[in-house]
Every structure is written in structure tokens, then in C-alpha cells.
């Protein structure tokens, strides 16, 4: 089992497949971000992703989420999903892994059957606004209708669908109630995410719309009831009485969930991060290519994990801008 200095068991790995994307969300991809910030030869191949995933599984990982950048823009995304699906097979594995994906939804219609074959049951789709013009402003691309229709396609195909909404003060905080309204007739799970600081994303303390503010706003329209959280949940969950779906808040900035964290991250260039906000990265890909033992590197990296937020800030001591927080940009980490 992968246990850190604070007795937290880590059994959830998020693998970034790429740091490229077909959207340009202002809060994620810096304006000057190059198409690929590292040479393609430094990116994990499909086989290397499978090898590293297997090592993490041997160490106790039970859930893998594919992310990015946009995971589905990778030309071999289908092959990667298919290879990892071997670990999800209930008949072949005594302890099968749960496979999930976070996507911007643009290519979902091409992958529905691949998700089904790979036992992917849960898909997170990002959508920050229900206003087409605003979508274009935030993402700098015109894919609003495609994303919305792909969310409905996932629902029609009985996937568990979570919609990730990054809430930014003065940008889309006026749409909270409209998103919750969507859960009236659809079994959708909306997750409002507090805006987080990363390299080059123009984060400012004043742009954070906090968990409390969100609940106040939604609570003034609806009768909201809390739902019991599952272990390791990073979202505080709620429901409007009588509605089909639920909503939740990921309150990383105002009330983080670090004491129960079970997450590890692998960037597309094969670096392990023990926290979304860790300054430190441990290169696993180069030693893997040299045929060296990677397990001890993983265990060592986890032992250096900080108690909370990579040891970089705390809710009572937020920086006013993102630059004192040392990190990659979100697109290069894998959210």
C-alpha cells in the first residue's frame, strides 16, 4: 500500500496523456503556452503509460483517471484506453481497477463505444457556462453546442456524468442557479470548482468565488440538502429536493480536503507529482527507459508529500496573485 507520513493511503492515480488541447481555457492554458512544451520523444508512449500504470497498481492503486490537456486529442488515445482496460476486467483481475476520464467533451461522440468496452462508467466533462458566447470567450473556441450535445449523449448511454464548472467571480458566478436547474430533469452531477492558481493563469484572490458564497447564492433559490460524502470525496455534495441530479463544490481554496487525500499524479512527460500543488516532481519515465526500478522512486516521492496544498499556501494565507505559487500551468499538470 502507498501510505505517506500522515498515514494517508494513496490508491488513486491521475494520468495526463498530453499537455495539448483543442480549447484554450483562460484559467488553464497560459496565453503564451506553446503547442507542446516538450519534445514528443519526452512524452510517455502508450506502452510506457501501461507499464507505469501497472507498477502503480502493484503498489496499491485502485482507480485511474485519464486527463490532460485534452486526453482525447492524442492520436493513440483509443489504444491507451484499450490497453488500460485490461486492468478493469472483472474476469481476469482479482482486484480490478476503476478507469475514469476527464474531458472537455469535444470528441466524446467518437469514443462512446471505446468507453463502454473499457468499462469506463463515469465521465467528467468540463463546461463553465451555459451561454454560447461566453463559452467562446472563456475557451476561445466555438464548441459549445458540441459539448452540450455530447453530455446528453453520455446520459442517453447511461454513463455517470459529472459536469465540472470552474467558478470565477465576475465571469460565470451568475450561472450557478442555471447549472443547478439542469439537475432537475437530468441525472447530472454538477461540480462547482473554486478557481485555483497555476502558472500563467491570471489567478487573483478576488476572482475566487468561495464555497460559502456558492451555497448562499444557490440556497437563496432552492431548498438544498447535503448528501453524505463517500471516503476521499473532494467535493461537498448537495441536492435540491425532488431534483434528479446533484451538485457539489470542490472547495480547494477555502476549505481543502487534504487530510483525506488519496491522489497521485503522473504528467504526460512521466513525472510524478504527489500533490496538485507540489513544487517537486519525480522523473519516472527516464529511469523506466533505462530499465531501472521505479517502485522505490514512487515510494520516496510519496514520503515527501506535504500535509496540505503542497506546503505552498493555506486558506487563511492565500497569496493575492498566482506567481508566488511555484508550479506548472494546469494544462501541463493534468487536472
Q: Which residues bind to ligand SF4, rule: CB under 6 A?
A: 21, 23-25, 28-29, 68-70, 104, 126, 331
Q: Which three cell numbers stand for residue 108?
A: 466524446
Interstrand relation of 246-250 and 236-240 (parallel, antiparallel or unpaired): antiparallel
DSSP state of 230: P
Which entry of ligand SAM, ligand SF4, none binds 193, CB below 5 to 8 A by partner kind? ligand SAM
Q: Which is nearer to ligand SF4, 126 or 278 (CB)?
A: 126
Give the one entry of ligand SAM, ligand SF4, none that residue 29 binds, where binding means its C-beta sits below a cut-off of 5 to 8 angstroms depending on kind: ligand SF4
How many angstroms from the chain centroid is the CA of residue 304?
22
Q: Considering only residues 18, 20, 83, 104, which one is a binding residue for ligand SAM as defined by CB under 6 A? A: 104
Select 68 or 197, whichever has its Cβ closest to ligand SF4.
68
Cα 94 from Cα 319, distance rounded (Å):
46
Closest listed residue to residue 308, CA positions, set 226, 251, 266, 270 = 251
Q: Cell numbers 492515480 label which residue?
A: 13
Nearer to ligand SF4 (CB atom), residue 69 or residue 310: 69
Tell which residue, 194, 217, 206, has the closest CA to residue 276: 194
Site for ligand SAM contains 175 (CB under 6 A): no
**Which of 68, 256 has the CB closer to ligand SF4?**
68
- CB 330 to ligand SAM: min, Å: 4
CA nearest to 102, candidates 155, 163, 192: 163
- Nearer to ligand SAM (CB atom), residue 126 or residue 183: 126
Contacts (CB under 6 A) with ligand SAM, residues 130-169: 164, 166
User: What phi-psi label fits residue 311: left (phi over 0), alpha (psi between -120 and 50 degrees) or beta?
Assistant: left
Q: How far apart are CA 117 and CA 136, in angstroms?
A: 33
Residues that bind ligand SAM (CB under 6 A): 21, 27-28, 67-68, 70, 102-104, 126, 164, 166, 193, 195-196, 198, 201, 330-331, 335
Amino acid at each position: 500500500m502507498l501510505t505517506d507520513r500522515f498515514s494517508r493511503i494513496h490508491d488513486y492515480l491521475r494520468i495526463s496523456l498530453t499537455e495539448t488541447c483543442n480549447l484554450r481555457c483562460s484559467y488553464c492554458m497560459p496565453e503564451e503556452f506553446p503547442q507542446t512544451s516538450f519534445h514528443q520523444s519526452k512524452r510517455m508512449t502508450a506502452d510506457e503509460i501501461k507499464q507505469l500504470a501497472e507498477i502503480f497498481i502493484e503498489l496499491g492503486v485502485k482507480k485511474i483517471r485519464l486527463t490532460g490537456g485534452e486526453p482525447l486529442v492524442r492520436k493513440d488515445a483509443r489504444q491507451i484506453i484499450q490497453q488500460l482496460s485490461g486492468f478493469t476486467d472483472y474476469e481476469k483481475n482479482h482486484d480490478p481497477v476503476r478507469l475514469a476520464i476527464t474531458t472537455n467533451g469535444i470528441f466524446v461522440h467518437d469514443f462512446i463505444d471505446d468507453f463502454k468496452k473499457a468499462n469506463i462508467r463515469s465521465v467528467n466533462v468540463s463546461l463553465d457556462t451555459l451561454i454560447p458566447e461566453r463559452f467562446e470567450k472563456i475557451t476561445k473556441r466555438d464548441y459549445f453546442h458540441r459539448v452540450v450535445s455530447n453530455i446528453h449523449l453520455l446520459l442517453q448511454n447511461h454513463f455517470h456524468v459529472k459536469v465540472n464548472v470552474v467558478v470565477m467571480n465576475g465571469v460565470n458566478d451568475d450561472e450557478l442557479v442555471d447549472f443547478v436547474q439542469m439537475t432537475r430533469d437530468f441525472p447530472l452531477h454538477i461540480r462547482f470548482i473554486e478557481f485555483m492558481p497555476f502558472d500563467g493563469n491570471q489567478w487573483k484572490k478576488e476572482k475566487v468565488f468561495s464555497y460559502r458564497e456558492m451555497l448562499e447564492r444557490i440556497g437563496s433559490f432552492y431548498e438544498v440538502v447535503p448528501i453524505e460524502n463517500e471516503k476521499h470525496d473532494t467535493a461537498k455534495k448537495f441536492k435540491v429536493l425532488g431534483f434528479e441530479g446533484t451538485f457539489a463544490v470542490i472547495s480547494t481554496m477555502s476549505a481543502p480536503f487534504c487530510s483525506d487525500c488519496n491522489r497521485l499524479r503522473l504528467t504526460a512527460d512521466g513525472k510524478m507529482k504527489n500533490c496538485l500543488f507540489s513544487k517537486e516532481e519525480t522523473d519516472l519515465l527516464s529511469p523506466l527507459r533505462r530499465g531501472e526500478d521505479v517502485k522505490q522512486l514512487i515510494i520516496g516521492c510519496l514520503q515527501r508529500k506535504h500535509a496540505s496544498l503542497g506546503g505552498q499556501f493555506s486558506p487563511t494565507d492565500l497569496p493575492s496573485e498566482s506567481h508566488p505559487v511555484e508550479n506548472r500551468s494546469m494544462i501541463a499538470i493534468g487536472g
